[in-house]
Amino acid sequence: MKIGLLTSGGDCQALNAAMRGVVKGLANNVDNLEVYGFFDGYKGLIYGNYRLLTSNDFSGILTRGGTILGSSRQPFKMMRIPDENGLDKVEAMKSNYYKLNLDCLVILGGNGTQKTANLLREEGLNIIHLPKTIDNDIYGTDVTFGFYSAINVACDAIDCIHTTAASHNRVFIVEVMGHKVGWLTLYAGVASGADIILLPEIPYDDDKIIDAIKKRQKAGKGFTILAVAEGAISKKDAKLSKKELKKKLEEEPYPSVSYKIAEMITQKTGAEARVTVPGHTQRGGSPCPYDRALCTRLGSAAAQAIIDKDFGNMIAIINDKTKRVPLEDVAGKLKMVDPECQMIKEAKRIGISFGD
Ligand code: F6P
């Protein structure tokens, strides 16, 4: 059996753990396994940059962050557009797949990666996709790998801010990754006792943020901590069209939404406001034990799908069971936080403000 592996898009902590699960699951159950690793995501598949991997490559990587194959962003919308030398990328990917005579290509990545995986499926390749992203926004799986590891990092950052915030009577904003969704901010914010949590799914009102800060001040609390999703948006901005919003953001002097909120808080309350952006640390370090176990399960389940020749699927986890979900049913869909979900209601009940 010959399989290909590639990791595409932004990395996360548990990619190596997932690849190890796939390869061990196959090596223990099929004869004459050959594993080809394509470097730097789809780039390696397009330009034929790959290497035959050995069992040594997968030894000792369960706990190692990043990806042994490297990764890159190759936007889905550019896949049908020839490169600067006129190369047809889709044909090039197919040609490298057929040249190696692969039985299956295992693709680890997030939403954009998944769309290209589905495109390659439509083009006739045998594809298995594994749902990777710290954003947890892949539709059709309860959780993506990387998410829980990133919560740990974001949570550590907010925990550290807590002690210094208490000493200085300031307002602190910690900006959390997550692209267009608020899963990471919601979980890290609740887990670290943030006072105000702002998510893209719940546009905020400046006055509600100020009310929440004043309420804490009145109660004798010197500091307030906000966990703000990088995609958080005000009620006013949420009403703008995509084009209008883009123009407005380009004209604003802020590096990100948190700085805008910090300035607004200082103007309206006189309180000093500080911004911390943990940024890519949230994708770094070792995978947490949950992600190691999850990836071992997803990888092993992927191996079984390959053995069964059941291709064209994402391997998901639903109600603690691994499931094969057809790529055509999920590609291009986004899993967002439901503003009416239990977790938000529970958080509001204990006094956390969502700025709405
Ligand atoms: O999708 C993962 C993610 O870390 C997002 O949370 C973030 O918006 C984005 O990637 C950052 O991308 P890049 O690494 O390309 O700056």
Look up the domain containing 58 and give its range.
2-146+287-330
Residue 168: pLDDT band (50, 70, 90) is: confident
User: Judging by DSSP bridges, how do beta strands 224-229 and 313-318 pair with one another?
Assistant: unpaired
Same domain (yes/no): 32, 93? yes
Is the beta carbon of 200 within 6 A of some atom in ligand 1? no
Is the beta carbon of 182 within 6 A of some atom in ligand 1? no
Same domain (yes/no): 12, 138? yes
Same domain (yes/no): 93, 42? yes
Same domain (yes/no): 234, 166? yes
Same domain (yes/no): 43, 142? yes
Beta bridge partners of 196: 226, 353
Q: How large is the average pLDDT for residues 68-76?
A: 97
Of 177, 228, 283, the one to substitute when testing ligand 1's pocket (max ligand atoms within 8 A of C-beta) is 177
In a domain, 345, yes or no: no
User: Would you call 135 a catalytic residue per the annotation?
Assistant: yes
The predicted pLDDT at position 269 comes to: 95
Q: Which long-range contacts (CB under 8 A, 24 or more apart) does 117-125 make?
A: 117/327, 117/331, 118/327, 118/328, 118/331, 118/332, 119/76, 119/79, 119/90, 120/90, 120/93, 120/94, 121/311, 121/312, 121/327, 121/328, 123/90, 123/94, 124/94, 125/93, 125/94, 125/97
Same domain (yes/no): 170, 127? no
CA of 153 to the centre of ligand 1 (A): 15
Q: Report which of 141, 148, 60, 123 is spatially closest to residue 325, judged by C-alpha positions.
A: 141
pLDDT at 196 over 90: yes
In a domain, 353, yes or no: no
Residue 158: pLDDT band (50, 70, 90) is: very high
Is the beta carbon of 181 within 6 A of some atom in ligand 1? no
Give tens-digit pLDDT for 180-193.
999 999 999 999 99
Same domain (yes/no): 135, 6? yes
Closest C-alpha to ligand 1, atom 13: 10
Q: Name the catalytic one among 135, 137, 195, 291.
A: 135
In a domain, 216, yes or no: yes
CA of 24 to the centre of ligand 1 (A): 29
In a domain, 44, yes or no: yes
Give tens-digit pLDDT for 262-307.
999 999 999 999 999 999 999 999 999 999 999 999 999 999 999 9
The predicted pLDDT at position 176 comes to: 98
Rounded CA-CA distance 163/88 in Å is: 55
Q: How large is the average pLDDT for residues 332-350?
A: 98
Closest C-alpha to ligand 1, atom 12: 10
Count up the domains in the chain and report the number.
2
In ligand 1, which atom is closest to the CA atom of 230? 8
Provide the 10 A C-beta neighbour count for residue 77.
9
pLDDT at 166 over 90: no
Q: What is the CATH number of the domain that holds 76?
A: 3.40.50.450
CA of 177 to the centre of ligand 1 (A): 7
Same domain (yes/no): 104, 34? yes
The predicted pLDDT at position 40 comes to: 98
Residue for token pair 């996709």:
129
The predicted pLDDT at position 106 comes to: 98
Is the beta carbon of 229 within 6 A of some atom in ligand 1? no
Is the beta carbon of 41 within 6 A of some atom in ligand 1? no
Q: How large is the average pLDDT for residues 165-190?
A: 95
Domain boundary among 259, 282, 305: 282
CA of 144 to the centre of ligand 1 (A): 15
When the pLDDT of each residue in the chain is averaged and rounded to a whole number, the result is: 97
Is the beta carbon of 278 within 6 A of some atom in ligand 1? no
The predicted pLDDT at position 346 comes to: 98
Is the beta carbon of 132 within 6 A of some atom in ligand 1? no
43-57, 92-106, 157-171, 244-258: least confidently modelled range: 157-171
Same domain (yes/no): 240, 297? no
Same domain (yes/no): 46, 21? yes
Closest C-alpha to ligand 1, atom 8: 179
In a domain, 82, yes or no: yes
Is the beta carbon of 355 within 6 A of some atom in ligand 1? no
Residue 127: pLDDT band (50, 70, 90) is: very high
Q: What is the CATH number of the domain that holds 186?
A: 3.40.50.460
- Quote the pTM value: 0.97
Same domain (yes/no): 72, 208? no
Closest C-alpha to ligand 1, atom 7: 179
pLDDT at 169 over 90: no
